[in-house]
A and B are shown apart, each in its own frame.
Chain A
Amino acid sequence: MVIKGSKPPSGEGCKRRLSTKKLLRVMKLTAIILLSACLAASAKGKSQGITLSVKDAPLEKVFIEIKKQTGYSFVYYKDDLAKGQKVTIQVSNARIEEVLNLLFKDKPITYSIFEHNIVLKQKTESPNEQTTDEPKPIPITGKVFDENGNPLVGATVTVRGTQTAVKTDANGQFTIEANAGQTLVITYVGYVDEQIKVGNETTLTVTLEVDVKSLLAVTVNKGYYTEKMRNTVGNVATVKAADIEKQPVSNPLLALQGRVPGLVITQSSGVPGSGVTVRIQGRNSINGGNDPLYIIDGVPYPSQMLATTTGGNNFTGILGTSGGSNLAPGGNGNPLSFIGVENIESIEILKDADATSIYGSRGANGVILITTKKGSVKGKNKIELNFQQGWGKVTRTIEMMNTRQYLDMRYEALRNDGININSISNSTSFRYYDLNVWDTTRYTDWQKVLTGGTAHYTDANGSVSGGNANLNYRIGGGYHRETTVFPGNFNNKRGVVNFIINNQSLDRRFSLQLSASYINNNNALPQADFISTALQLPPTAPPIYNGDGSLNWAPNSIDRSSWTNPLSQLNNKYENTTENLISSFIVGYKITPDLELKTQLGYNRLQTDEFSGLSILSRTPESRATFNRTAQYTSSTIKFYLAEPQLNYTRTFGKVKIDVLLGTTIQQNQNKGEVINTSGHPTDDLLRDIRSATSFNIPSSIDAVYKYNALFSRINLNWSNKYILNLTGRRDGSSRFGPENRFQNFGSIGGAWIFTEENLFKKQSILSFGKLRASYGTTGNDQIGDYTYLDLYNSVSNPVPYQNWSSISIDNISNPYLQWEETRKLSVGFSLGLINDRILADITFNRNRSSNQLISYSLPYTTGFTSVYLNLPATIQNISWEFSLNSMNVKQKSFTWETNFNLTVPKNKLVSFPSIEQTTLAGSLVIGQPLSITKAFHYLGVDPVTGLYQFLDQNGNPTTSPTFNDRTVLVNTDPKLYGGFQNSFRFKRVEISTFFQFTKQKQSTLSLLKFGYANPPGSASLNQPAFVLDRWQKLGDDAEIQKYSTAFSAYFPWSNASQSDAGIVDASFIRLKNITASYDLKTDFLKKSHIEKLRLFVEGQNLLTISKFKGIDPENQSSSSLPPLRVLAVGLNVQF
C-alpha cells in the first residue's frame, strides 16, 4: 500500500504547523490502516513461513509477494522507499522478521509490525552500520498508555538488572537503549508493573493495567474527560464492576445502595422492575425534579419512565414510582432497570460543582455516569460466561393477630359501641360477615399465603472480547428472569445483546468507537400488590378454593359473595414490554499530538408497551352480569438524540500540564405516547384484542419535544501533579423555558493541592498521600417538564363525542417567564493516604444552595388549578459531611483483608424565603427547617376517661378533635445519617465480602402504622398487627391504643393520631445488604480445557435487617407495596 504525495518536511518547527498536505496524508494513512486492518483479518490464516527468491527486484514487487504469502501489508511513504532501490533475497520458509531484517539490512529504512501491517520509516539518524551478530544496545522507542488509551506521563522504564532508566515524556513517549534479550520494566504508581523482553521490535506500545488495589490510580470518568482519582479536584465517587457484579439485583442503581457517600437510593417495591428513587446530596428543589442526570457512555438516558397519563401514573401502580415530581412526573417503574448490570464497567457519581458544572443546567442534582465494558487490549480473545440462580423471600413479616385475638377485638369493639351482634339481622350484613357468615374457628396466615412465596431469580450472560490497543471489541449477551413472591405465575424476563468496537490508528491519532446495546424486557405482574390484602384479611377469612378447585366466594344465605377472593385478581393481567436501544458512535482525530477533535453521536430509545385487562373472573359471581370488561393499552417512546463535537488540547509547558476542552452539545429528546382504554370485550379471551371492544377512549396522548443546546469548556492546569486548578463552564439553552429565559451560564472553579508532593513531606514515611481540594460553582435544574411555559389546551377523548364534535380542556396555568433554578455548590475535601496508601481517608464538606426555586406553587382551588409553576426567591441549603475510609488491613500473599467505610451526615434547610407568609407555601414550609418538615398535632396519648386519643390544641388544652391550627409540632423526617461498611477478605482462592448499609432516620411520612393498620382496630372486618392489643378497655386504663370501636367517634381520633408527632416512628436500620463468598477453582482439568478461571460464588442480598420499625420494611416504609426481597443466589463464572 503506497501513500502518494511527498513526504512531510521534518523538523520541530514544521511539526507544529498545520500543513495541508501532512494532514491529508495522515488522514489517508489512517484510512488505509483502518482498511488494511479489516483486510488483514481475512488474511490471517496465511501466516506461515515465507519463501522468496528474487534478484534485483524492486522492493514493491517483494512486498506484493510477501503480502500474497502472509497477508502482511506494507505501509510507507513513497519517497522513503525511493532510497531503498532494488533488492536481492533468497529465503525459504522464513519468519517475517527474518525476511524484513534481511530486506532492510543495509537500507536506511526501519520497520515495525502492527498486527498485519508493516510500517516502513526512513531511519532518522544513526548511519552506523548495524551488525546483527553480536548484541549491541539498540535504541528502543515506545509509548506508554493507561487502560483508556491515554498517554501516561512520568512512567518509569528501566532495563532490568541495570541502572538504565528513563521517564516517559508529556506524550507518554520514551527512548531507551537495551540489548535484545534484556527485559524492560515499566512502572507507574497505581499500575501493575509491565515487563517486556527486548526482541526485534524497536517500537513498543505498552498499556499498563490498573492495580485495582490502589484507589488513587483509578481512572475516574468525569463525562467529557477522565482523571486519576489522585488528581481529582471534585467530589466524585466511583463504583466498579467488581462491586456491582457481586449483587443479585436487576437494576444497577440498587447495587449502589449504601456504597457512595451522599447518595440515597430507595426502592419503592420488591417486584422486579419497580421504581427507584435516587437523591444525590439531598433535595435541592422544593418541588421540581430532584433526579440526577444519567449518562450512559456519553449519551443522556431518562431518569423517569414516561408518564402517559396526566398525574403521572399508568394503569397499575404495582411498579411504584421513581420519585418524580409534580413538575416532572414520571411513569411507574425505573428506566435504569433496563440496563443489564453485567454490562457495566463502572458507575461514577459526580456530586460537587467542579464535577457537575460542565453539565450546566442538568447537573444540579448530580450526575450518574455509567460506563459499559470495553474490549480487551490484551491481544487475546477472552470468553466469559456467568450463570446465577437465586431465590428471593420477603425480608420481614408483621406479627398479626391470631384468630382468638382477632375475634376478641371485633367483639370488644361492638361491646364498646353497644352493638349487639345477635340483633343484627341474619347474615346479610356485610360488616359482620366475619362474625356471622365465616367459620370463626379458621386460621390462615395470609402473609404466608399471599406474599410468602419464593421468587426465583435466574441470570445467565456471556461475552467475547478481544483485540489489542488498536482494535478491540466486546460482544455480550444475557438473559435474566425473575419471578415474584406472590401466588400465580408472574415473572420479568429480559434479554440483552450488546457490542462495542474500538479502533485506533497505528499512530493513535485517529480513533473510533461504536457501541450499542439492545434490551428486550417483558414484565408480567399481577395488577395489584398483595401486601395490603395479606395484612388486612382476617385470619378467619374463608378458604381460597372450594373442594372442586374453583375460587371460593363464600356466599352468604342469599348467595351474595361475602368477600373478594384475593386470588380472583390473578385473572387480571398486566404486562409491560420494553425495548431499549442505547447506541453511541465516537470519532476522534488528533490533528497534532496536542490537539484532538472528537465528536460523539448518540441515540437512545426506550419503547414501552403496557397492557392491562380486567377479567370478569375477578368479579364476584353476582356482579358479573353487569360487569363490563375493560382493558388498557399504553405505548410510550422516549428518544434521545445527541451530537457533541469537542476540541481537546493537552500540552505540557515545563512543569505545567494544560488540558483544554471546548465542545458543544446538541440534544433533542422526543416523548411520544398514548393510552387507549377499551371496554365491552365479549369474553376474557378477547381482552387482548383491541378490535373486540365496543367502546374506545383515549384519555391521554403525548407528543413532546425537548431541545437542548450548550457550549461547554474546561481548563485544567496541573503543576507537577502538585497544584491542580480546574475551571469549567457551560452556556446552556433549553426549550423547557419561555423564549425570554432560555439561556444561562454556569461555571465552576476548583483547586487541589497534593501537599505530599512538597519536599517537606517526601521524607515522611507514614503519610504517603495528602490532598486538599475545594471547589465552588453553579449548576442548574431544568427538570420541570416540557412546555410548562405555554398555555395549552388538550383534546378530550370520549367514546361518544359531544354533539359529534371535538372537545378540548385547559390543563394548566402557564408562566412564560419561567427560569432556571440555580444551585451553588461549595465543596471542600481532605484526602489522606497512610502507609503507602494502604489506608485512605477522605472527608468532604459540601454546601449546596439552590435559589430561584422553580416551584409548583400550590394554589387554592378558587384559581381553578392546584398549582402554577413559578420561580420564587427561596433558598434551600443542603449541607453534608461525607466521610470515607478504605483500609487494606492485611496484605499478604495468601491473605488480604480490606475494609471500606462511608458515612454521610446530611442537613437540609430552607435558608430564606422572603415573604413566605404571602405564599401558599407558608402552611407547609418553615424557614430554618428542612423541606421535609411536617406540621403535626402533639400527641397526648389515650385519654383514660374516654379511651380516645388526645392531642394538644393551640391553647395548650387536650382535645380529641384537633383542627388544623392545632398542628403545633414540627416533625423532621430527613435521615440523620447513613452509610455503609464493607469488609473483603481473600484467603488464597477464597474471597468473602460483607456489606452493611445503615441509616438513622424517622419514618419519612406520617403514618398510621403505630395505631393499627389501615383502619381503626376493630372497626371493620380487617386484621390488625398484634401490637394493637395494648388498648384502652375500661375507665382509668393507661394504654397505647385507644378503645376498639366501629364508630366515627373513634375514627377521627385515630386518623388524627396519624397526623400527630406520635405517627412518626423510628425507622432506623442496619441491613446486611450483601454477602458474597467465592472460590476460584484451579485443577489440571481446567488447564487442559483451556479454562482460565472458574469461580463459584454464593451471594446474598438484604440478608438481615435490624430495626425497631414496626412495618414490613424500614427502607421503603410502605404498607402497600412489596418490600425489597432477601435474595440468595449461587452461581459460577467461567473465563476462557
Chain B
Amino acid sequence: MFSKKSICTLYILLILISIFSCKKLVEVDPPGTQITSNNVYNNDATAIAVMNGLYSKLSSTGFVGGSPLISNISLWAGLSADEFILWSGTTITALLYYQNALNASAHGSEFWMSTYPLIYVCNAAIEGLQKSSSLNSTVKQQLLGEAKFMRAYFYFYLVNLYGDVPLALTTDYTVNSLLSRYAKSAVYDQIRSDLSDAKDLLANGYVKNDAVTLYPTASAERVRPSKAAASALLSRVELYNNNWANAESEATAVISNTSLYDTVPLNNVFLKNSKEAIWQLQPVLSEITNTQEGFFFNLTIAPIGVNDFHSVHLSQSVLNSFEAGDKRKVNGNWINVFTDGSGTYYYPYKYKVGSIGAPVTEYPMFLRLGELYLIRSEAKARQNNLPGAIADLDVIRKRAGLPLIANSIPGISQTALLNAILHERQVELFSESGHRWLDLKRTGNVDAVMATATSLKGGTWQSYQQLYPVPVDDLLKNPNLTQNAGY
C-alpha cells in the first residue's frame, strides 16, 4: 500500500500540483449577480436592458430631498427662474438655487455631476452596439438611435445650464478626464449630428419592450424615444440656434403626423399616452405612484413646516402673467389652490395625481406637441411668416380659451408677435422642463427679469449667475478645465 516515501511524495506532489494548477485555483467566474460588458451587447435582451436602465434611472429620481438632476429640472431651473416661491425653512441646496446664490464649492454643479454618468451610459451603449455583430439588426438600430437621442438630450441641458462644456463621446477615461470645454456651437454641432442620426435610426412610431414591434397607434406607450422625439428635440435645438427654417421643418415633421399626434383638451395633456405626448417616461417606483411632479407640486399641506416635502408653490409672477380668461389658470385645470390657516397657496396642477395609492394615469412628460407649435410659431415669425406664426400660436391660445390673435390683433407686428409667443411659452410651459429659465437666457431677458425676481426671492441677481458653476472637484482633477466667470 502506501509507503512513507509515497505519502511524502504524494504530499510534495500535491503542493506542486497546486502551484502548477494555480491558474485554475484563482480563476473565478464573473459574479453571479452581474454581467460583463462583453456579454451585454451580444444579446438583444440585455442590450435593451441597458437603455431601460437609463430610463428607469431618470424615472425613479425623486424631487423630495433629492438633488438636482435632469429629470427634475422642472423644479430646480424653475427655482432659479421666477416660477416658484420656496419655503425658507428648506434645505440649503434648494435655497441656493432659489436665491441664485450658487457657490462653486457648495452647490450648483449637481446637473454636471449627475449628467455625465448618464452620457457615459450612452457612449458605452453606442460603442457596444456598434461593435456587436450578434444583435438583431432592427434592435441594434433602434437602440443606437435611442442612445444618440439621449446623449443629445443630456448635452442640450448641459450646454444650456453651464455654457461651454467638455464633450465626452467615448468611454475612455484617459480622454474624458482631460477634456477642455468645447465652444457652445461645437456642442450644438454634436447634438445636431446625434439627433440627425437618431432620426434615421429610430422607429417611426413607438416600439414595445422588444425594441422592434410597434404599438398600435391608439394605445402607444410613448416611453421610448422615437423618430418624432428626435425631430422635436432637433426642432428645439435649431430654435435655440436661430436656425429658424430648420426649426420649422423639424416641428412640421412631427405636427403633420396627425395620426399619432394631436392637441388634446387641457386636462388630458399630461395623461399617459396622450396624443399630445412625443416622449414620456414610465413611472417605476411603484404600481401606485404616478409622477414625481404630481407628488411634489400638489399641496396637501401648506408649503411650510419641518419637511422639504411640499416646500414650493407658484410665484406671483407666474400667476400674474396669465391673461384674463385663461382656462389654464382656472383652479383645477393647470393650477390649483391650497388654503389653510397659514395662507393661500397656488401650485402647478398639470399633473393631478399626487397621492400614492391611485392607479397610474399620468406619465411624466418630456417632449410634447404644445411646445412644437410654439417653436414653429416663433420660427415662422422670425422668418417673417406672420400669418403662419399666428396660426400656430392660436392653436395653443384656442385650447386655453383665449381670444385668437388672428381675430383680435390680426395686424400684429413681428416684435409684438414674438413677445406674444414668448409670453405664451411662459404660461403654456410653466413648471415644465426648465423652459422658463432657458427661455429667459436664450432671449436675453434674464438680467431684466431676474433683477426683480431674485430680490423678491431674497437674493441679489448678478448676471454671471445665469450659468451654474462647474464642480470644483473637476477643476482640481482636470487641469484643462476652467470655471465659469464669476464663480
Give the interface of A toward B (CB within 8 A).
18-20, 22-24, 428-431, 557-558, 560-561, 563-564, 591-592, 595, 597, 620, 622-623, 625-626, 628, 645, 647, 662-664, 666, 679-680, 694-695, 701-709, 711, 731, 733-735, 739, 742-743, 786-787, 790-796, 798-810, 813-814, 858-865, 868, 917-918, 920, 922-924, 963-964, 1048, 1051-1052, 1055
27 pairs from A and B in contact (CB 8 Å cutoff): A18-B8, A23-B4, A24-B1, A429-B304, A558-B341, A591-B8, A597-B11, A623-B309, A662-B15, A679-B286, A706-B28, A707-B27, A735-B26, A735-B27, A735-B28, A792-B34, A792-B36, A794-B34, A808-B40, A809-B54, A813-B173, A863-B177, A920-B476, A923-B477, A924-B476, A963-B105, A1055-B106
Stretch of B44-52, B236-244, B319-327 with 4 or more beta carbons under 8 angstroms from chain A: B44-52
Q: How far is the CB of A392 from chain B (nearest CB, A)?
A: 33
Rank and list the top 3 A-B pairs by shortest CB-CB distance, nearest first: A864-B120, A20-B3, A703-B32
Q: How far is the CB of B338 from chain A (nearest CB, A)?
A: 13
- Distance between Cα atoms of A625 and B48 in the complex (Å): 39
Q: Give the residue of A626, A702, A792, A862 whose beta carbon is less than 8 angstroms from that of B179.
A: A862
Given the interface pairs A431-B88, A803-B282, the reply to whether A711 lies near B476 with Cβ below 8 Å is no
Q: Report yes or no: B28 in contact with A707, Cβ–Cβ below 8 A.
A: yes
Q: Report yes or no: B301 in contact with A622, Cβ–Cβ below 8 A.
A: yes
Given the interface pairs A430-B89, A705-B28, the reply to whether A564 lies near B306 with Cβ below 8 Å is yes
Q: How far is the CB of A714 from chain B (nearest CB, A)?
A: 14
Q: Report yes or no: B33 in contact with A702, Cβ–Cβ below 8 A.
A: yes
Apart from A709-B25, A800-B282: 13 A-B pairs, beta carbons within 8 A = A20-B4, A623-B307, A695-B287, A709-B18, A800-B284, A802-B55, A814-B37, A858-B477, A861-B471, A863-B173, A863-B177, A864-B171, A924-B476
Q: Give the residue of B8, B34, B340, B355 whose beta carbon is less than 8 angstroms from that of A626.
A: B355
Interfacial chain B residues near A792, Cβ < 8 Å: 30-31, 34-37
- Distance between Cα atoms of A595 and B12 in the complex (Å): 13
Q: How far is the CB of A245 from chain B (nearest CB, A)?
A: 39
Q: Report yes or no: B25 in contact with A806, Cβ–Cβ below 8 A.
A: no
Taking CB atoms and an 8 Å cut-off, the chain B residues in 130-151 that contact chain A are none
Interfacial chain B residues near A786, Cβ < 8 Å: 28, 31
Interfacial chain B residues near A742, Cβ < 8 Å: 22-23, 26
B481 within 8 A of A: yes
Q: Report yes or no: A791 in contact with B38, Cβ–Cβ below 8 A.
A: yes
B99 within 8 A of A: yes
Interfacial chain A residues near B15, Cβ < 8 Å: 645, 647, 662-664, 711
Interfacial chain A residues near B88, Cβ < 8 Å: 431
Q: Give the residue of B37, B52, B56, B106 whose beta carbon is less than 8 angstroms from that of A810.
A: B37
Q: Report yes or no: A798 in contact with B56, Cβ–Cβ below 8 A.
A: yes
- Distance between Cα atoms of A786 and B475 in the complex (Å): 31
B288 within 8 A of A: yes
Q: Give the residue of A597, A859, A963, A1048 whose beta carbon is less than 8 angstroms from that of B8.
A: A597
Interfacial chain A residues near B19, Cβ < 8 Å: 664, 711, 731
Q: How far is the CB of B66 from chain A (nearest CB, A)?
A: 15
Q: Can you name the residue of chain B whose Cβ is closest to the Cβ of A589? A: B7
Q: Give the residue of A20, A628, A711, A806 whose beta carbon is less than 8 angstroms from that of B52.
A: A806
Give the interface of B toward A (CB within 8 A).
1-8, 11-12, 14-15, 18-19, 22-23, 25-38, 40, 45-46, 48-50, 52-57, 59-60, 87-89, 92, 99, 101, 103-106, 109, 112-113, 116-117, 119-121, 123-124, 166, 168, 171, 173, 176-177, 179, 208-209, 221, 223-224, 282-288, 300-302, 304-307, 309, 340-342, 355-356, 471-479, 481
Q: Report yes or no: A19 in contact with B475, Cβ–Cβ below 8 A.
A: no
Q: Report yes or no: B33 in contact with A795, Cβ–Cβ below 8 A.
A: yes
Q: Report yes or no: A733 in contact with B25, Cβ–Cβ below 8 A.
A: yes
Q: Give the residue of B116, B283, B287, B355 whose beta carbon is less than 8 angstroms from that of A864.
A: B116
Q: Can you name the residue of chain A whose Cβ is closest to the Cβ of B89? A: A430
Interfacial chain B residues near A814, Cβ < 8 Å: 37
Q: Report yes or no: B168 in contact with A864, Cβ–Cβ below 8 A.
A: yes
Interfacial chain B residues near A703, Cβ < 8 Å: 31-33
Given the interface pairs A19-B4, A806-B49, A809-B121, the reply to whether A733 lies near B301 with Cβ below 8 Å is no
Interfacial chain A residues near B477, Cβ < 8 Å: 858-860, 920, 923
- Distance between Cα atoms of A759 and B101 in the complex (Å): 81
Interfacial chain B residues near A431, Cβ < 8 Å: 88-89
Q: Report yes or no: A793 in contact with B473, Cβ–Cβ below 8 A.
A: no
- Distance between Cα atoms of A88 and B208 in the complex (Å): 102
Q: Report yes or no: A23 in contact with B3, Cβ–Cβ below 8 A.
A: yes
Q: Report yes or no: B3 in contact with A560, Cβ–Cβ below 8 A.
A: no
Q: Report yes or no: A428 in contact with B101, Cβ–Cβ below 8 A.
A: no
Given the interface pairs A808-B40, A859-B177, A864-B116, the reply to whether A733 lies near B49 with Cβ below 8 Å is no
Q: Report yes or no: A793 in contact with B474, Cβ–Cβ below 8 A.
A: no
- Distance between Cα atoms of A672 and B413 in the complex (Å): 70
Q: Report yes or no: A557 in contact with B177, Cβ–Cβ below 8 A.
A: no
Q: Report yes or no: A702 in contact with B31, Cβ–Cβ below 8 A.
A: yes
Q: How far is the CB of A627 from chain B (nearest CB, A)?
A: 10
Q: Report yes or no: A787 in contact with B4, Cβ–Cβ below 8 A.
A: no
- Distance between Cα atoms of A695 and B286 in the complex (Å): 6
Q: Can you name the residue of chain A whose Cβ is closest to the Cβ of B115? A: A861
Q: Give the residue of A591, A805, A808, A963 whose beta carbon is less than 8 angstroms from that of B7.
A: A591
Q: Report yes or no: A793 in contact with B168, Cβ–Cβ below 8 A.
A: no
Q: Report yes or no: A791 in contact with B37, Cβ–Cβ below 8 A.
A: yes
Q: Can you name the residue of chain A whose Cβ is closest to the Cβ of B48? A: A805
Q: Report yes or no: B56 in contact with A862, Cβ–Cβ below 8 A.
A: no
Interfacial chain A residues near B173, Cβ < 8 Å: 813, 859, 863-865, 868
Q: Report yes or no: B34 in contact with A920, Cβ–Cβ below 8 A.
A: no
Q: How far is the CB of A45 from chain B (nearest CB, A)?
A: 38
Interfacial chain A residues near B302, Cβ < 8 Å: 428, 558, 560
Interfacial chain A residues near B209, Cβ < 8 Å: 803-805
Interfacial chain B residues near A810, Cβ < 8 Å: 37, 50, 120-121, 124
Q: Report yes or no: B7 in contact with A705, Cβ–Cβ below 8 A.
A: no
- Distance between Cα atoms of A694 and B124 in the complex (Å): 35
Q: Give the residue of B208, B284, B355 whose beta carbon is less than 8 angstroms from that of A802.
A: B284
Interfacial chain A residues near B26, Cβ < 8 Å: 707-709, 733-735, 742
Q: Report yes or no: B304 in contact with A862, Cβ–Cβ below 8 A.
A: no
Given the interface pairs A597-B8, A787-B30, the reply to whether A861 lies near B60 with Cβ below 8 Å is no
Q: How far is the CB of A907 from chain B (nearest CB, A)?
A: 26
Interfacial chain A residues near B287, Cβ < 8 Å: 694-695, 799-800
Q: How far is the CB of B23 from chain A (nearest CB, A)?
A: 7
Q: Report yes or no: A623 in contact with B301, Cβ–Cβ below 8 A.
A: yes
- Distance between Cα atoms of A813 and B174 in the complex (Å): 11
Q: How far is the CB of A731 from chain B (nearest CB, A)?
A: 7
Q: Report yes or no: B7 in contact with A597, Cβ–Cβ below 8 A.
A: yes
Q: How far is the CB of B107 from chain A (nearest CB, A)?
A: 12
- Distance between Cα atoms of A344 and B52 in the complex (Å): 53
Q: How far is the CB of B333 from chain A (nearest CB, A)?
A: 23
Q: How far is the CB of B29 from chain A (nearest CB, A)?
A: 7
- Distance between Cα atoms of A625 and B301 in the complex (Å): 10
Q: Give the residue of A430, A591, A963 whose beta carbon is less than 8 angstroms from that of B304.
A: A430
Q: How far is the CB of B420 from chain A (nearest CB, A)?
A: 38
Interfacial chain B residues near A704, Cβ < 8 Å: 31, 33
Q: How far is the CB of B142 from chain A (nearest CB, A)?
A: 13
Q: Give the residue of B7, B31, B48, B103 whose beta carbon is less than 8 angstroms from that of A787.
A: B31
Q: How far is the CB of B179 from chain A (nearest CB, A)?
A: 6
Q: Give the residue of A18, A701, A803 whose beta carbon is less than 8 angstroms from that of B33.
A: A701
Q: Report yes or no: B37 in contact with A862, Cβ–Cβ below 8 A.
A: no
- Distance between Cα atoms of A733 and B20 in the complex (Å): 11
Q: Can you name the residue of chain A whose Cβ is closest to the Cβ of B14? A: A645
Which of A558, A802, A868 has the most chain B CB atoms closer than 10 A to its own CB?
A: A802
Interfacial chain A residues near B355, Cβ < 8 Å: 626
Interfacial chain B residues near A666, Cβ < 8 Å: 18, 25
Q: How far is the CB of A809 from chain B (nearest CB, A)?
A: 4
Q: Can you name the residue of chain A whose Cβ is closest to the Cβ of B122? A: A864
Given the interface pairs A791-B37, A793-B35, A1048-B101, the reply to whether A861 lies near B286 with Cβ below 8 Å is no
- Distance between Cα atoms of A709 and B14 in the complex (Å): 13
Q: Can you name the residue of chain B whose Cβ is closest to the Cβ of A557? A: B341
Which of A595, A742, A743, A861 has the most chain B CB atoms closer than 10 A to its own CB?
A: A861
